[in-house]
Amino acid sequence: MIYLDNAATTCVAKEAFEAMKPFFCEQYSNPSAVYCFAGDSMKAVDKARKSLADLIGAQPNEIYFTAGGSESDNWAVKAAAEAGKAKGKHIITSTIEHHAVLHTCQYLEKQGYEVTYVNVDENGMIKLEELKAAIRPDTILITIMAANNEIGTIQPLEEIGTLARENGILFHTDAVQAYGHIPLNVEELKIDLLSASGHKFHGPKGVGFLYIRKGVRIGSYIHGGAQERARRAGTLNTPGIVGMGAAAELVMDKLKENMQKEIELRDYFIQRVLEEIPYSRLNGDAKRRLPGNVNFCFRFIEGESLLILLDQQGICASSGSACTSGSLDPSHVLLAIGLPHEIAHGSLRFTLSAENTKEEIDFTVDALKKIVERLRSMSPLYEDFIKQKSK
Ligand SMILES: *Cc1c(COP(=O)(O)O)cnc(C)c1O
CB contact set of 109 (below 8 Å; sequence gap of 6+): 115
Alpha helices (H) in the chain, listed in sequence order: 14-20, 22-25, 36-54, 69-84, 99-110, 128-134, 157-166, 227-230, 238-276, 303-312, 332-336, 341-344, 358-377, 380-390
Taking the centre of ligand 1 as the mean of its atom positions, its distance from the CA of residue 240, in whole angstroms, is 16
Share of the chain above pLDDT 70, in %: 98
**Ligand 1 near 200 CB (within 6 A):** yes
Give me the count of residues in the chain: 391
User: How do residues 83-129 score in pLDDT, each as one tens digit?
Assistant: 999 999 999 999 999 999 999 999 999 999 999 999 999 999 999 99
User: How do residues 2-22 score in pLDDT, each as one tens digit?
Assistant: 999 999 999 999 999 999 999
**Ligand 1 near 349 CB (within 6 A):** no
Query: Residue 94 pairs with which residues in a beta bridge?
Result: 118
Query: Residue 30 pairs with which residues in a beta bridge?
Result: none
Taking the centre of ligand 1 as the mean of its atom positions, its distance from the CA of residue 69, in whole angstroms, is 5
The HSE-up count of residue 207 (CA atoms within 13 Å, CB side) is 28
With a cut of 70, say whether residue 325 has pLDDT above it: no
Provide the mean pLDDT of the chain.
95
Q: What pLDDT is recorded for position 323?
A: 44
**Ligand 1 near 69 CB (within 6 A):** yes
Q: What pLDDT is recorded for position 320?
A: 62
Q: What pLDDT is recorded for position 319?
A: 83
Can you tell me the distance from the alpha carbon of 354 to that of 17, in angstroms, rounded to the nearest whole number? 18
Q: What pLDDT is recorded for position 327?
A: 55
Q: What pLDDT is recorded for position 110?
A: 98
**Ligand 1 near 346 CB (within 6 A):** no
With a cut of 60, say whether residue 181 has pLDDT above it: yes
Burial of 217 (0-12, 13-18, 19+ CB in 10 A): exposed
* Whether 78 contacts 66, CB under 8 Å: no
User: Ligand 1 test: best mutation among 105, 149, 295, most atoms within 8 Å of CB?
Assistant: 149
For range 169-192, the mean pLDDT: 98
* Whether 317 contacts 330, CB under 8 Å: no
